[in-house]
Chain A
Amino acid sequence: MIRGIVRAFDERLGTARMTREVLNKVFPDHWSFLLGEVILYCFIILVATGVYLTLFFDASQQEVLYAGSYVPLQGVQMSRAYASALDITFSVRSGLVVRQVHHWAALLFAASMVTHLLRTFFTAAFRKPRELNWAVGVTLLMLAMVNGFTGYSLVDDQLSGTGLRIGYSIVLSIPFVGPWLSSLLLGGEFPGADIISRLFVLHVMIVPSIITLLLVVHMVILVRQKHTQFPGRGRREGNIIGLRLWPTYAMKAVGVFFLTGAVLALMGGLIQINPIWMFGPFRAADVSSASQPDWYVGWLEGALRLMPAWELRASPFEVPNPFYPSLVLAGGVFLVLYAWPWMEARLTRDHEIHHLLDRPSERPVRTPIGLAAISFFAVLFVAGGDDVIAVWLDMSVNTMVRILQLLAIVLPIVVFLVSRSAIRLRLRKQQEKAEPFCPRVGHSRWEARTLAALVLVFVWFTVTSLSSPSPHVLPETWTAKANAGMSGAQMYEAACAQCHGQNLEGVFGPAIGAGTDSEDMSDTLIQAVVFAGIGKMPPMPGVLTEIQVQEVIAFIRQLQGIG
């Protein structure tokens, strides 16, 4: 039977030769080559979960009164988009799990892309003839970020609205055409009449189609050019050694696919992500404090925060501040990424074809540059949560920002110098073993100068931050809503009633009325719980001040007395 079908195809398409070629393709057996595969598996899972969500999501900005099963938001005015996202979460079978798996898969998708890119960079797999595939990969990374952002924004809750608004400001800062572009994108001034439906088309059709196309291109090029491999016994530029695709490697790949799915299912089921019901519908006049974007845009968020308040003005024109940390930085980063293979070939005058990989520990320039870049992004990433970290460290946000600004400049240079010396030392030791010692000189002057420059930067920063007139802001001292002077009852309503109920009866959180454990808890203990969070309860510093918490506690005590 099967033989008959195979023959029928072969008679019409001549498929046997192609099949043999594919089944016999050799895959190098090194764990780091799996990173690329995980990207593909994440994408498959994203499409599968995404299709399911699409069936229930309603990409409309029409305002409705929510009447779904989530009690605290019943009767609240919101867009149909947000209402349907709540329905997916609370009413659709498996909806919450599928939504969370989708979100986790998106994070893993981006993460495996970045690690795959790092692997390719540090082992120099991007060199001729693979520059084109490198460029395709960089484009895929960019598209993954775009699609992550559009997906995050679709839900139309307070958090996604805030992110969208920052994105809108970045579009506005594009030279001269910014206002036009943003108006065309949103269908008018922010929030715009059509933004959700347009994001939806981008998120479920346009960007995924391009991603699919480019993934195919990436793999076709890969098959045509064959894999790279690490140098080793028997491995030459002219051959490739590893497992043939069929049957062992294919089976293992399928296994890895299921393992990826298993991990994502576990995360989607057990680890809460983006609890949209806690944020409420988007209102332009509100803001959710301590909001964090998804990790792959965290570095941009950090850059926005660390950017000094520079603004060029030449009346009537001005360069808005977000222009530098978003468009210039992100544009620069991707430009360098795209250009890297060609740049390196030019600088090293190496235009040869390479199929054997470099060992990162033996490259005294490329590896330090990569590590320095990683450290730079790490600082930006940390800066994206500087307010939260400042609360942890009990430090003023201002000091935190100054320190991180300094680190963003200094750390990459230090990382570069240290890792370069380490690699050189290693290489020299290897060389000494192989051949008699020949001393190398010449670089110490340059290094000394760099260090001197670093010291100067340090001094400058200390002087400017000491003389900076800015007040030192401790986040806890800020009142929650701009409506200062809210009573304990109002604040309870705003911050606590969602979970503990209007009358302490408990909804998603436990009841805290008369006769419960909470009645026996001391005020100090309750205050500690409010600030630190417990179990599913989020920590509240930055939301309520100490005095406010005391007022809320007083209100709760009053209710407990009545009960």
Chain B
Amino acid sequence: MPNPRVPRVAFGVTILSGIGLLVVYGTGGQPQLEGLLWFYALAGLGVGIIVGANNYLPNEESEEERHPLASSEEMLAAARADFHRADGGDEALDAERRSLLRLLAGAFAAIGVAVVFPIRSLGPHPSDDLRETDFAKGVRLVTVDGAPVKSGQLGVGELLTVFPEGHTRAGDSPTLLIRYDEEEFLPAGGRASWVTDGMVAYSKICTHAACAVGLYQNVTGLLLCPCHQSTFDVNNACTPTFGPATRPLPQLPIAIDSEGFVVAQSDYPEPVGPGYWDRMNNV
């Protein structure tokens, strides 16, 4: 005689938990209690059903024969014959059929190509977007709250995340404005005029996979991308010194305008952010 105790207790637990759930929901709910009660309710069902099935239902093994999956040769031949039912006999008719089929294929192809074009509305042509940011000659660098940055605002070793004025939410524009240590800093060849008042600006978008390069160690002048630990040397044109990034962070040429605010001299000279195969094509 099978022992009914386990399934009985289990189903009892489920009933009690169900009632408990009602109470919990009725009184406004509580995540931990809900999870716990659901656990008891469902576990009671599961255990009760499995143990019940083991005790009360037949448990002996059965044997089933396998029948070969492959069809017999005759069957294959018959199927082939069915498929080619229309073939043979009149050769001229066959040729005509074939040419009609070709035309039909052409018809489908024409429709197929035509339906591809509406997909084009999904997004604009990418290349200019990727190449440009909202920086341009004379555009002020502002903080996230929109406040323009004054020359002399940063102490040595400090840095600020800045944006082109009016575009503080653009994905490609976050830029790091860094007051470098004059003794350590090596302006890259031809870029001596890109810095101003001891400040240099680099794109904050990692050249590896576009994370924001968020961490700065001012003692060593290194920027670290927290995503895959690419490290960039601020004092040396932001060339990567560690990690998977292969290209320096692009530098933004900056100057001071007549009112003493930091402005861009132009847009970034190259696309910011991660690479793509024809990135350097007609930059």
Contacts and interface: CB of A to CB of B under 8 A. Distances in A.
Interface of A: 24-26, 29, 93-94, 96-97, 100, 129, 162, 165-166, 168-170, 172-173, 175-176, 178-180, 182-192, 194, 224-226, 234, 237-244, 247-248, 251-252, 254-259, 261-263, 265-270, 283-291, 301, 304-305, 307-311, 315-322, 325, 353, 355, 386-387, 397-398, 401, 469-471, 473, 477-485, 542
B224 interface: yes
B35 A97 contact: yes
B134 to A, nearest CB: 11
B135 interface: no
Interface in B158-208: 158-161, 163, 169-174, 176, 204-205, 208
Contact of A259 (B47, B124, B227): B47
Given A184-B119, A266-B39, 17 more contacts: A93-B29, A166-B209, A185-B123, A187-B123, A240-B63, A252-B54, A269-B31, A291-B227, A304-B208, A305-B229, A305-B244, A311-B275, A321-B245, A321-B246, A470-B231, A473-B231, A484-B157
Contacts of A186: 123
Given A94-B29, A322-B209, A166 B227 contact: yes
Contacts of A290: 226
Contact of A169 (B163, B210, B220, B278): B210
A288 B212 CA distance: 9
A473 B225 CA distance: 12
B130 interface: yes
Interface of B: 25, 29, 31-36, 38-43, 45-50, 52-54, 57-59, 61-66, 69, 119-120, 122-127, 129-130, 144, 155, 157-161, 163, 169-174, 176, 204-205, 208-218, 220, 222-231, 240-247, 273-282
Contacts of B48: 255
6 contacts: A184-B123, A190-B171, A239-B63, A239-B64, A251-B49, A255-B48
Q: Identify which of B223, B229, B230 gathers the most chain A CB atoms within 10 Å of its CB.
A: B229
B231 to A, nearest CB: 6
A270 B30 CA distance: 11
Contacts of B241: 469-471
Nearest to B157: A484
B214 A481 contact: yes
Contacts of A237: 66
Nearest to B280: A316
A241 B275 CA distance: 57
B208 A162 contact: no
A321 B279 CA distance: 13
B135 to A, nearest CB: 14
A285 B215 contact: no
Given A322-B208, A401-B229, A289 B66 contact: no
A317 B281 contact: yes
A147 B185 CA distance: 47
Contacts of A266: 35-36, 38-39
Most buried by A among B216, B231, B242: B242
A226 B215 CA distance: 57
Nearest to A29: B61
A191 B171 contact: yes
Given A180-B126, A290-B226, A311-B246, A285 B174 contact: yes
B244 A398 contact: no
A307 B171 CA distance: 26
Given A179-B130, A398-B242, A481-B214, A255 B123 contact: no
Contacts of B52: 251
A256 B66 CA distance: 27
A176 B278 contact: yes
Contacts of B172: 189-190, 284
Given A26-B64, A316-B278, A183 B125 contact: yes
B277 A269 contact: no
Contacts of B229: 305, 386-387, 397, 401, 473
B69 to A, nearest CB: 6
A168 B212 CA distance: 14
B42 A320 contact: no
B215 A289 contact: yes
Contacts of B129: 183, 188-189
A28 B91 CA distance: 56
Of the listed residues A170, A178, A258, A479, the one surrounded by the most CB atoms of chain B closer than 10 A to its CB is A258
B117 to A, nearest CB: 12
B35 to A, nearest CB: 1
Given A170-B209, A317-B277, A97 B34 contact: yes
B123 A188 contact: yes
Instruction: Give 5 nearest A-B pairs by CB, closest first.
Output: A269-B35, A320-B275, A265-B38, A285-B174, A255-B50
A316 B122 CA distance: 28
Contacts of B54: 248, 252
B204 A285 contact: yes
Given A189-B129, A248-B58, A482-B215, A162 B227 contact: yes
A178 B126 CA distance: 9
A185 B42 CA distance: 41
B278 A262 contact: no
A262 B244 CA distance: 43
Contact of B36 (A189, A238, A270, A480): A270
Contacts of A387: 226, 229
Nearest to A193: B123
A247 B244 contact: no
A183 B126 contact: yes
B65 A243 contact: no
B65 A239 contact: yes
Given A129-B69, A287-B227, A482-B215, A169 B35 contact: no
A284 B126 contact: no
Contacts of A225: 69
A258 B62 contact: no
Given A255-B53, A270-B36, A482-B161, A287 B214 contact: yes
A93 B224 CA distance: 42
Contacts of B127: 179
B208 A321 contact: yes
Contacts of B274: 169, 172-173, 320, 322
A226 B25 CA distance: 45
Given A255-B45, A270-B36, A285 B61 contact: no
Contacts of B240: 309
Contacts of A240: 63-64, 66
Given A243-B61, A309-B244, A262 B38 contact: yes
